[in-house]
A and B are shown apart, each in its own frame.
Chain A
Amino acid sequence: MISKLSASVRKEFLLLVRDRVGLSILFLMPMVLIFVMTLIQDAAFKTLNEKGIPIVFVNNDRDSLGMMVEQGLRNNELCSYSDSINGRPASAESAKQAVASGKFMIGIIVPAGATAAIRKSVEGLIEETINTDSVMPAESPVAQDSVEITILVDPVTKKSFLTSISSNLREFISEIKTKIMFQAFSEQIAEKIPDKAPVPKNAFARTQIIHYKEVYASKAENRIVPNAVQHNVPAWTIFAMFFIAIPLSGSIMKEKSEGSVFRLHTMPGSYLLLTYGKLIMYVIVCLVQFLLMLSVGLYLLPLLGLPVLVLGNSFWGIVALTLATAVAAAGYGIMVGTLASTEQQAAIMGSLSILLLSALGGIWVPTYVMPEEMRAISAFSPMNWALDGYYALFLRGSGLVAILGDAGKLFAFFIATMAIASIANRIKRSV
């Protein structure tokens, strides 16, 4: 039994190493995918980070608000500040045209008299407070002058990116407005109540008692920082592992077409051993793929200036999840090879289903940006279970227990694929 099984594994190994195209599909293709996808994603953010978001600023205010916004934008590393277009000072109209043509991603127009309007508003409020009786009117009778700051946006900017940028800008401008109001308020108080001590110089800073701290809720004590490497290496490794379905199903079909299966069916108990031999060999292939992909993340990507892949805290978690993913992928390949009737069928069925499962599984696009219906479907993709597991290990720093659910689902998927293959094989043979 062991001798037959080892002969079957050895045969699979020899067939695999002699198939150079198959080998390149198995090992080079996923490595290239990791390189390309990680570099593209990293470069996209890096470009914006290094050069800054191109912003054109039109300051029609010429007072505190305009100047402080201008100063803030100039000092912000995320912004590539400009207040002129083609060597001429930017106007509301030229800024709009420049943003519309894609020259700038964002345009900000602060209207004339914006600071004065804020000051006037504060002045009116204080005047009203001091001169009225102790009973407050239900509504303020004083009409407020509104200040409208225009934020122009390049129409090709992605909605998610725009939301993030505009919310940051609003927060930034709002802080400046509050500062101006605070100053105006202090000045007015000093003027109206001269016998009071002056407002301390650092009074505004003292009012800023609420601070925000963003911390990734990882169990790995802040060692793991989400980045293109942490996301892409596990995602494309899973894709590569499931991609073995194509050469594996192709090898099953080739055996059928070359007549080896005919001979093997006439041998005592050998067809089952043949399947086990394939299973063992391709699980080994998956494990080698995994190690190679990890090596890319650990050693090669850092050479290109990308962050080093951090593996989390759980060695046994990685082992369990990788084994479960490998058997699920090999089982899927055996099922495709058994269900297909020709090599072409196996190739098309294998490649299309892998692409579909990977798209649903969140390999190409994260599942959280998918519509609700698609998210519900993606919960049935084995690649999604594997990805969830690796994210738990690599991003959340979780341990073995956290991935047992996903590993269990993958193992159940393997059992299901083998059962389907076995039933299909019996049906096909019962002529």
Chain B
Amino acid sequence: MWKFRNELAIFTTQKMSANNIIEIKNLTKTYKQAKEASVKGISFSIKRNEIFGLLGPNGAGKTTTISILCGLFPPTGGSVFIDGKDLRKELEPIKAMIGIVPQDIALYSSLTARENLDFYGHMYGLKGKDLKDKIDLWLEKLGLSGSADRPIAGFSHGMKRRVNLIAGILHQPKILFLDEPTVGVDVQSRNAIIAYLKELNKEGMTIIYTSHHMEEAEIFCTQVSIIDHGKILTEGSPEALINSCPGATNLENVFLHLTNGKLRD
């Protein structure tokens, strides 16, 4: 009986691990010369093919968490497994399977959209006709074909955001990290970006999304974690979180309720 229970437990763990593309346990990060930890022993997992929203006010610890997951710097403690690989030991293969769309426009302003994408595509190991076709395809999809050979410096903010997005997805990563991908763009560009992100998710890409835009997160995310002061306050689907919070009619109400609605630095 005891043996049966033990085997069942192992089976259950393995099944959960196979479903989860990211598993984080007791993750902590204390910056050098900082008095307090920015991330205080958080644990959560992200399932494959999920659109996961990591939401929180300024200084909550979401950027620190995402930066650790992207391999920008190591954690102080805890463990992170991405697609079964230990972040501390197998960083290079992990880097190859992720894509990132930073909040800042991480592009060379004097280069054209095509030149920027060609460079980043090569850096992800793409080359030749395959790379050219992918660039053409995404420029076409996001309505940038006509501007492909113009320097980025002359682009509108919405156009820059779209090129910034393509640079992160050109190599078809398994996991895509999005940091405020629609900040400062017009409604048309935002709708286009969200629509194509959903299309990528349908094709199997797991998306990890951080934003202050609660309305967008409510529509876009399938699972949400709200983080504040370096700790996870709650997690679940947007619908479940709204239903569990008395008097809440949307995700913003839940967010304000959990984070006390106080001004942050």
Contact = CB atoms under 8 A, between A and B. Distances in A.
B73 to A, nearest CB: 5
Interface residues of B, number: 33
Contacts of A255: 108
A11 interface: yes
Contact of A267 (B108, B109, B111, B123): B123
B119 A11 contact: yes
Interface in A260-293: 260, 262-270, 273
B32 A430 contact: yes
B110 A18 contact: yes
A266 B111 contact: no
Contacts of A431: 31-32, 73
A265 B104 contact: no
A339 B225 CA distance: 38
A245 B93 CA distance: 34
Given A263-B102, A263-B106, A3 B111 contact: no
Contacts of B72: 262, 265-266, 429
Interface string A13-35: 01100110000000000000000
B135 to A, nearest CB: 13
Given A264-B123, A265-B72, A259 B111 contact: no
B85 interface: no
Nearest to B153: A18
Given A259-B104, A263-B100, A4 B111 contact: no
Contacts of A4: 122-123, 125
Interface in A320-356: none
B151 interface: yes
Interface residues of A, number: 28
Contacts of B71: 265-266
Given A4-B125, A260-B107, A266 B98 contact: yes
A88 to B, nearest CB: 71
Interface in B32-81: 32, 70-73
A interface secondary structure, majority: helix
Most chain B CB within 10 A, of A4, A19, A266, A273, is at A266
A319 interface: no
A7 interface: yes
Contacts of A259: 102, 104-106
Interface in B203-257: none
A11 B32 contact: no
B111 to A, nearest CB: 6
A268 B106 CA distance: 17
A131 B32 CA distance: 102
A15 B73 contact: no
Contacts of B111: 11, 14-15, 18
22 contacts: A3-B125, A4-B122, A11-B108, A11-B111, A11-B119, A14-B111, A15-B110, A258-B104, A258-B108, A260-B107, A263-B167, A265-B72, A266-B71, A267-B95, A267-B120, A267-B124, A268-B96, A268-B124, A270-B123, A273-B123, A429-B72, A430-B73
Interface of B: 31-32, 70-73, 92-93, 95-96, 98, 100, 102, 104-111, 115, 118-120, 122-125, 127, 151, 167-168
Given A3-B122, A14-B111, A268-B93, 8 more contacts: A8-B119, A8-B122, A8-B123, A11-B108, A264-B123, A265-B71, A266-B72, A431-B32
Closest 6 CB pairs of A and B: A7-B122, A259-B104, A259-B106, A263-B106, A18-B110, A268-B95
